[in-house]
Amino acid sequence: MALQSLQRVLADFAREREWEQFHTPKNLVMALAGESGELLEIFQWLTPTDSARVMQDSERAVQVREEMADVLAYLLRLADVLDVDLEQALLEKIDKNRLKYPVHLARGRADKYTQWGK
């Protein structure tokens, strides 16, 4: 299902419940941050190895999928409310990051480009 189709499903869901009045950009951003925090909480004290294996635990896997779905849902609602084409925005951001992080300089590095040369 394409992003726009998912946005329509979410908009219909909100409209049917008369929740559109609550779906202001501020509220949606706050909800998005909250759901991101809930996803973060699952990983907070895991070792890197445990985090890579998190989906092998069926109970945790359900939690991860649900929190990721919540994050995506709020991001899609926010994009819909603000009339942002997320696909286009992402493609533009990837192009911008290609310029900031050229392969020959960024390969194998995790530091931010602003730290290079310091």
Question: Under a CB-based contact definition with an 8 Å cutoff, are residues 71 and 32 in contact?
Answer: yes
Per residue in 91-113, pLDDT (tens digit) is: 999 999 999 999 999 999 999 99
Q: Cα(34)–Cα(62) distance, rounded to whole angstroms?
A: 18
The C-alpha atoms of residue 102 and residue 116 are separated, in whole angstroms, by 12
- What residues contact residue 23 under an 8 Å CB cut-off, 6+ apart? 14, 77, 81
- The fold for domain 3-84 equals Helix Hairpins (1.10.287)
Per-residue model confidence as pLDDT tens for the chain (118 residues): 799 999 999 999 999 999 999 999 999 999 999 999 999 999 999 999 999 999 999 999 999 999 999 999 999 999 999 999 999 999 999 999 999 999 999 999 999 999 998 7
- Tell me if the pTM is above 0.75: yes
- 3-state secondary structure at position 104: helix
Q: Where are the domains of the chain?
A: 3-84, 86-118
